[in-house]
Amino acid sequence: MADKDGLKVAKDYLAEVPFANMGDFHVKGAKNLDWGMKKHLSNIFDPKTGKTVMFAFDHGYFMGSTAGLERLDLIVPTLTPYVDVVMATRGALRTCVPAECGCGVALRTTSGSSMINDDLSHEVVAVDIEDAIRMNADCMAVQTFIGADGQLSSIDNLSQVINAGFKYSIPTMGVVAVGKEMERTDRFFKLATRIVAEMGCQIVKSYYCENFEEVVAACPVPIVVAGGKKLPEDEALTLAYKCIQGGAAGVDMGRNIFQSTHPVEMAQAVRKVVHEGFTDKEAYQFFQDLAHRK
């Protein structure tokens, strides 16, 4: 390991220069992967736009029943026609998501945290690769706690899942966790997303921050951005717009869809931003028009 003393602060991200190793494949950093990995990544990132709308409803894995997700069986099937990928636990997928829905699958594979004990940085790999294969998962999501107590064990979890994923050509999505004690700065996200990507995962899930274009430029795999806490719909669409403008390969949005007054219309509006080049204002107008028609 390099001596920390005397290390220079990175600064030349050349954010305006496109990723140099795309080749003829639409997913960043995936040019050299094998057919199976590319097929799964194409189930996640639309080959026409290179982007994805992931709908995250895995919150129950540590929050239990969450507002808006009280009845997974009722809400999820209304949304699957409008999203590219469902991000969920195997329990939610097997019980409440129609297998014929046509969406890609981001399978949460780590667990161990809960809101009750307030210990949100220690997890284990809870789903083995055989079950991910059985569920035809397009990627396996692993929570990572860079800079927190659980860093070492979460990197261990991530490595185990990536190694198994390479064996069977299933991509891994490293999820950058933010906690009470962690800063939400570009400095932190540049560090965390890069560490997770260099561990070998094919997708990173992270958060929007200032200088987001530099975070994206420094990360050699696609970044999808979590929605975070519920915002008014216009602000959530502005967030999605800024992410896409900043180079995100999509959003992985949960509460800002399922806690919206109009979840189906919100999913469609997010889709317009991610895949059709709508500005946030155009998408909000689209949302309002759809919502008022009901």
Q: Identify the H or E element spanning 271.
A: helix 263-276
Q: How far is the CB of 205 from ligand R5P (least distance, A)?
A: 7
Q: How far is the CB of 252 from ligand R5P (least distance, A)?
A: 5
User: Residues 205, 230, 281, 294: which is the catalytic one?
Assistant: 205
87 touches ligand R5P (CB under 6 A): yes
275 touches ligand R5P (CB under 6 A): no
How many whole angstroms separate alpha carbon 215 and alpha carbon 64? 32
- Identify the CA nearest to 245 among candidates 15, 1, 91: 15
Nearer to ligand R5P, 91 or 228 (CB): 228
273 touches ligand R5P (CB under 6 A): no
Rg (CA), the chain: 18
- Considering only 104, 227, 246, 247, the residue that binds ligand R5P (CB under 6 A) is 227
Could you give the maximum distance between any two Cα atoms of the chain, in Å? 62
Nearer to ligand R5P, 33 or 79 (CB): 79
Tokens at 160, concatenated: 């185990």
58 touches ligand R5P (CB under 6 A): yes
Q: How far is the CB of 25 from ligand R5P (least distance, A)?
A: 26
Tokens at 27, concatenated: 């997913």
226 touches ligand R5P (CB under 6 A): yes
Asked if 265 and 292 count as a contact pair (C-beta separation under 8 A), the reply is no
How many whole angstroms separate alpha carbon 220 and alpha carbon 222? 7
How many whole angstroms separate alpha carbon 165 and alpha carbon 140? 8
205 carries an active-site annotation: yes
Active-site residues: which are they?
205
Contact positions vs ligand R5P (CB under 6 A): 56, 58-59, 87, 175, 226-228, 252-256
